[in-house]
Amino acid sequence: MEHDHHHQEGSNHLPQVLIIKPPPVFTLFEDKFISTKFQFLKAWESTLPLDQFLTTYAGSVRAVLCSGASPISRDTIRMLPSLKLVVTASAGTNHIDLTECRRLGIAVTNLADVFSDDGADAAVGLLIDVLRKVSAGDRYIRQGLWSVKGEYPLGSKLGGKRVGIVGLGGFGLSLAKRLEAFGCSVLYNSRKQKPCVPYPFYSNVYELARDSDALIICCSLTPETRHLINREVMLALGKQGIIVNIARGAIINEKEMVECLVNGEIGGAGLDVFENEPNVPKELFELDNVVLSPHRVVFYTGILHCCL
């Protein structure tokens, strides 16, 4: 009978940390994760089917390192009776069954504010790109259209814009500071009003959109925030309004957003995330007022300190 090569790894009695699929940071910096205190079980390298792999090592797995590419479902959790900790290499936790973890007393930790500065930089970058038509202008030149069609239409400045932030956690606060430096007025919506925050608070995202020139989505994906940004909110934002999403795709009703963009009912969008990644609505490809990014605007520079 052929034995899986991981079987012998578990013989040294070190606590086992399961990785079903490697997060990008693990692939890039695997040598930095080496420790004498625990050992990784690399399920993706095994010849065993995943269910059989989990059954084989069920008694020794104390922790899981995951990302959005490897959801930790109720079924997975129940196959790991010794599991005590789930660490996700992301700010979001919507790929983890938090209810089941809570029921079984399993701790869950994410990277939360580790990404705040990088994510805030990226959000501002997407907003400027849409407003100033940076990517669209680049395509215009590369396609040889400047010499044929003449000057490209001017964009719009960021300074003076009213920017509504949906989700004013550490990420949102880092973003707000940058927007202030550009001369923007910051408004926000959050689960609760933040004490000692100088920005106007809106308990209703529709009213926030109505009073904003741009909406930037920074909140977590939860049952309450799924499709929070719907057609009604987008129509309130208006024909010149810009949406930037660097949180999770399903916070926006993507089908309704595509319709609003195609019909000119909102002014544009900067999107790093999508509802059915890596599938992106093809209708967006031809729109010069839409900037697309493959869920990569956040860097992993600080992640190691949180994981190890």
For 207-275, give the DSSP string. HHHHT-SEEEE-SPP-TTTTT-B-HHHHHHH-TT-EEEE-S-GGGB-HHHHHHHHHTTSS-EEEES--T
Both 238 and 198 in one domain: the answer is yes
**Of 66, 89, 110, which one is at a domain's C-terminal end?**
110
Both 273 and 227 in one domain: the answer is yes
CA 43 to chain centre: 24
Both 219 and 263 in one domain: the answer is yes
pLDDT at residue 256, rounded to an integer: 98
Both 283 and 151 in one domain: the answer is yes
Both 44 and 181 in one domain: the answer is no
Give residue 299's pLDDT band: very low, low, confident or very high (50, 70, 90). very low
Q: pLDDT higher for 221 or 149?
A: 149
pLDDT at residue 239, rounded to an integer: 97
Both 55 and 186 in one domain: the answer is no
Catalytic residue among 30, 45, 277, 283: 277
Catalytic residue among 6, 248, 256, 275: 248
Tell me, yes or no, whether 151 lies in a domain. yes
Active-site residue flag, 275: no
Q: CA 212 to CA 131: how far, in whole Å?
A: 14
**Of 110, 137, 162, which one is at a domain's C-terminal end?**
110
pLDDT at residue 11, rounded to an integer: 42
Q: Residues 68-111: pLDDT tens digits?
A: 778 889 999 999 998 999 888 776 778 889 899 999 999 888 76
Catalytic residue among 95, 210, 226, 295: 295
Active-site residue flag, 248: yes
> What range defines the domain where residue 17 resides?
8-110
Q: Residues 158-194: pLDDT tens digits?
A: 999 999 999 998 889 999 999 999 999 999 999 999 9
Active-site residue flag, 277: yes
Q: pLDDT higher for 237 or 4?
A: 237
**Least confident among 10-19, 25-34, 42-51, 162-171:** 25-34
Domain containing residue 39: CATH number: 3.40.50.720
Give residue 115's pLDDT band: very low, low, confident or very high (50, 70, 90). low
* Mean predicted lDDT score pLDDT of the chain: 86
Q: What is the average per-residue pLDDT within 236-240?
A: 97
